[in-house]
Structure formats: structure tokens, C-alpha cells
Structure 1
Amino acid sequence: MSKRKLYRILIEAVAAVMILAALVFFVGFRVTKVQIEGNQYYTDEEIKKMVLDAPNAGNSILVMMTKTEEKTKDAQMIDHVTIKRKNRNTIVVNVKEKQMVGCLEFQGQYVNFDRQGVIQIITEEQMEGVPLIDGLSVKSVKVGQKLKGINTKKLNTILSVGKMLEKSEQKPDRLVFNNMNQLVLYYGEVEVRLGNDENMDEKMNRLSGILPQLEGMEGILHLENITEDTTGVVFDNAAAEEEEEEQEGENQDPSSQSETTTPPAGILTQEENQEGEEQNNEDESEENTGEEEEFDDSQLEYSDGTDAAESKSGANPEE
């Protein structure tokens, strides 16, 4: 066999290998599925249009070279985007959006700011999941600048609480500073009073555990005096108090009166709380021959309204 023929065979073999490799590369690694994660303010289609509009986006290897920062520079609510290859035909686009801790009204618009107090976007309507802050006012606003003209202490309180709420599934509808300049959160018909800035971490931890028990209820949750040693929390159930007043005012046969709604598990009614206090008083008059019964710190105690601003603890008031 001549050298020329061998050379031609070698060239043809190399070409065949290259063609096969190209087929494997472009067909075997063709993107057939795209997963979008982490987006809230933008739809999946909007993210795909922003990031995957180039020809290389069809290949799960070439798409990794996409300059996502350049493609998302005009998206005000996007912090950054990363692309990962899950398998040969699937890529995952992870979107890190800017987190808004709150918004305030200014000249008929909503000024949304992040955990540093920097204004990120101004919208005509309130954004979903961003609580409205009442009791704060500014003279002027500009995207990219920090909020100005706000009391520093109030702003720091808002930003601190906002950071703690970022990972919470239940966001308050509103955050309000009352006439005592103390922060109050509103979840539907539930008013949460936080008091001053002391023990705010403990207060927010208690709040996250208690909120699921208060779903559909109406009243005031008092967290003003919560500390690490506090074992009980006062909740003034407005609906229960109104129902009790109505029943006391009726002079009807007991069988004709409506049934009382059973409170959620772990929450004591006012009568049960009073019975427990009477029992504790009786136990104190007797000799202490055994260990005291532990109090469940997950329980809420209903107040009669006279001690609304006080948080209950496991220790007896007479001690």
C-alpha cells in the first residue's frame, strides 16, 4: 500500500472521529430541560429570555460560559444568576433576587428598600411579600441611595427585624410604630407588640413558633417583656372576649346558647388559666413534698385584659 493511500485513510479516519465527536457534543449534550430556581419577582419565561437567548444556550456545556452579569444588568431586582449542569441534557438556572425588607409610601408610589436600607426599586403598586412600613416618612427618594431623613433608631429597628423576617414563611402585612415609638407587626387580624429593641432575637423566635397557632384568630400578642427566662406569652383573644361578653348579657336557657369554639392545641382559655393559677395557690399553702410540675413554654395564656402588657412566666408571682 502506497504512502499516499495510507495518508488518505488516516485523514478520513481523523475526519470521521471529529464528525462523531461533534455529533456527540452537539446532540448528546443538547439542552432539553431547564430548571429555574429562586425567582419570585420574575417569571421563568422572563429569566429564560434574559439569560438563555444566545445560540450557545442550546448546549449544556457551552451554556456554562454565558456572561449572566451582562445579561441581567438591567434587571433591577436581580442580584446575580448562576448556571449549573445537572446532567447532559438538563441545566439549572439559580436566580438570587434582591431581598426587600419593607416599603413605604411616597407621593402615591411604593419605595422598596433592602436590608441595608438602600432603595432598590420604586413601584406603582405594593410588591407581594414586602410589608408596608407605617410611621416613617422621607422628604426625597432615589433608587440606589440609602433612605434619608428617617430617625436612625427607627430605621435600625426596621432593618434588624426585616433581616430576621427574611427566612420566615409568614410575612407581616404591615409594620407600624405606635405612639410610644415601639414596633408593632400586623398579621391579618393579629397584632404583635414587640416593645423596645431589647431581646429582639428571642421575641422573633417566639413569634415564629406561635404564629401558626393563631391562624384565623383575632387579638393582641404581647411580646414586649419577653426574655430568655419567660415561659409564657400573653395573647388577648378579642373574639373570645366578645363572645364571652355576649353570653354574659344573654338571659337564655343554656341549651339554646351557641357552643364555644375550641381553642387550638397548646393554647389555654382564660378559664383554664384561672383554674391553673388557683391550683398553684393551693399547692403553695401545702408542704412541698415533691418536684414542681414543669410548665410548657410553648403554651399561650389568655389574658382578661388587665395584664395585657405583661408577659407571663413560669415562676409564681408571690415568690
Structure 2
Amino acid sequence: MEYGWTEKKKTGIAAAVIVLLLILIGLFSLQIKTVTVTGNVRYTQEQITEMLFPDKVSRNPVVCYLKDHFQEHVEIPFVQDYKIEFQGLNKVEIIVYEKSVVGYVSYMSSCMYFDKDGIVVESTSKTLPGIPEITGLKFGHIVLYQKLPVENDAVFQEILNLTQILSIYQLEVNRIQYNSFGEAALYMGDLEVILGNNVGMNGKIAELSDMLPKLEGRKGTLYLDTYDETATNAMYAFKPRQ
């Protein structure tokens, strides 16, 4: 009697093991086929997908889940973190949380990108489209993930304000330069725009936006530092350059 019970027990265990193996084989044979990416600006959906799912093994939902929960996330430049949400066994959504970047300074052959508070969030040899270089700032030794050691921290608020206004008018600039008085100048291709201090900055950029179509293809310096919001039909000097 005992012998028969033991045989049945062994048979039951073997069957359970086989079923478990079949389940595992089935799970590991699955592939994530649909990937959607949200929150991405710096990278395309295809780029994010390629970085997180470089091969067939990484596209397995079991492997993906284990890596996402028990391993360090893949480091992606200009990305603070990301979250993977399963919407089925073969479909995931990747939610990207990008670092806030307003500009960069050149330092020891590298581009040091910083956020609205002046914290250096990334160091790379590459320049990103849509992010202006900031020149004219005086600073000492730069350390990644620490604030740029400038003389006056108020300049970061001015940079943020200016870049936000430029974004509203959908204007891209190559470089923003500040002089020792905190006055700004923009560089857009062959065009230099003298803005002066931060008073009436929204109006200055609005004027620039209106004038750009007429200045297309021209080289020179536009002086908007004389902007006066109370003036009507104001004229601004333009000094052409060969």
C-alpha cells in the first residue's frame, strides 16, 4: 500500500514539474511586439526602444520584468529615469522622465548641460539641437550634478525666462551670450541680436519674431536693446555685415 502511494506521489510530482516546465517554456518563448514611448523629446520612440530592447532575449516579458524590477535601469543621457508598464504579455509602455535642460557651457572640450537651477546634469561631446550654448559666464571648476559656480546665481532665472520665451515663439538660437552687466545677445546663424537687460524681454522677442522674415538671409546685428513697450511704430537699428 505504501509502495503504491509513493509511486503515485512521484508521478504527481513529475507531472507538476512537466507542467511547470511547459509554462516556463511558453513564457520564455513570448516576445514583446508592441512598444509605445511617452514623455520623450530628446529621443525618438525607435531610439528608446533600441536602447532598452537591443535583442530578442530582452524582448521576452519575463526577462523584461525581472530586469526592470531587480537590476539597475539602463543609463540614457539626458534621461532621469523611465518606467515600464505592461499592458499585456506582448505589449508595454515606456514612460520616459527626461532631465530638464536649458543650456550648456563649453568646458574642457565637453558640453556641460545644466537645468533651470544651474545644476550640471550631463557632460557630453555632442551638442543637442534646440539647446543653446551659453557664453560669457565666469565660472571655476565644474562638477557633474553640482551647480555651476558662477558669480551671480540670478543669471539662471534670466536664462530660464529667456529660453521659455524663445520656446513660446518657436525660435531656435545657437548661442546666448551675457556680458559683465548681465545683458544678453542672441546668435542665430549669421544674425546677432542685442537684447540688453531683461526688462521687457517678452516684447523684445515678440519684435524679433515679427522681424525675422524680413531679415532672412541677411548678415548683421539687430539692436533690440532700445525696446520701449510704450512706443508705437518703433524702429530698430540693423547693422549689416559682409
TM-score by length of 2: 0.66
Task: Assess, with a 3 A threshold, how the Cα gap between structure 1 residues 46 and 214 changes in structure 2: closer, same or farther.
Answer: same
Letter in 2 for 1:108: S
Q: Assess if the C-alpha contact under 8 Å between 1:106 and 1:138 holds in 2.
A: no
TM-score (norm 1): 0.52
1:103 match: 104
Deviations 1:220-252 (A, max 9, x none): 33332435444445454545x98xxxxxxxxxx
CA distance in 1, matches of 2:71, 2:235: 50
**What is the RMSD of the two structures over their aligned residues, measured on CA atoms?**
4.3
Show the counterpart of 1:191.
Answer: 192
> Residue 117 of structure 1: CA displacement?
0.7
What aligned pairs does 1:98-177 form with structure 2 within 5 A after superposition? 98-166=99-167, 169-177=170-178
Distance 1:106 1:121 in 2: 12
For residues 149 and 89 of structure 1, the distance between their equivalents in structure 2, rounded to whole angstroms, comes to 50
Q: Identify the residue that residue 220 of structure 1 maps to in structure 2.
A: 221
Is this contact kept in 1: 2:137–2:150, CA < 8 A?
no
Residue identity matched to 1:204: I
Cα distance, 1:186 vs. partner? 0.7
Q: Identify the match of residue 40 of structure 1 among 30, 39, 42.
A: 42
Distance in 2 between residues matched to 1:87 and 1:208, nearest whole Å: 47
Distance 1:170 1:152, change over 3 A: same
Write out per-residue CA displacement over residues 62-87 of structure 1, whole angstroms, 9 at most, x where no aligned residue: 97x95599524x33410343556789
Are the counterparts in 1 of residues 104 and 133 from structure 2 also a CA contact under 8 Å? Answer: yes
1:159-203 Cα shifts (integer Å, max 9, x gaps): 332343456643211111246541000111112221112122333
Aligned counterparts of 1:101 and 1:68: Cα–Cα separation in 2: 33
> Aligned with 2:76: secondary structure?
coil
Deviates more, 1:227-236 or 1:80-89: 80-89
Asked if the contact 1:202/1:228 (under 8 Å) is kept, the reply is yes
For 2:159 and 2:140, the matched residues in 1 are separated by 18
- Aligned-pair CA distance for 1:138: 1.4
- Give the C-alpha shift of residue 135 in structure 1: 0.9
The count of residues paired between Structure 1 and Structure 2 equals 218
Q: Tell me, yes or no, if the aligned pair for 2:136 and 2:180 is still in contact at 8 Å.
A: no
Query: What is the one-letter code of the residue matched to 1:109?
Result: S
The match for 1:50 is 52
Summarize deviations over 1:124-182 as a string: whole Å, max 9, x none. Answer: 34343321222112111111111113323434322332343456643211111246541
The secondary structure found in structure 1 opposite 2:105 is strand
Cα pair 2:130 2:172 within 8 Å, conserved: yes
Deviation at residue 96 of structure 1 after TM alignment? 3.4
CA contact (8 A) 1:174 1:187 kept: yes
Q: Which runs of 5+ in 2 are unaligned?
A: 1-22
Which whole-Å deviations, capped at 9, do the CAs of 1:188-219 have from their partners, x for residues lacking one? 11122211121223333443444455332223
Give the Cα–Cα distance (whole angstroms) in 2 for the partners of residues 68 and 40 of structure 1.
Answer: 27
Task: Determine which structure has more spread, i.e. the larger CA radius of gyration.
Answer: 1
> Is the CA contact 1:112–1:120 (under 8 Å) kept in the aligned structure 2?
yes
Q: How does 1:8-87 map to 2 (within 5 A)?
A: 31-37=32-38, 38-40=40-42, 44-50=46-52, 70-72=72-74, 74-83=75-84
Q: Matched residue of 2:176: which SS?
A: strand
Q: Read off the aligned partner of 1:123 and give its amino acid letter.
A: T
Q: Give the conservation status (yes or no) of the 8 Å contact 1:115–1:159.
A: yes
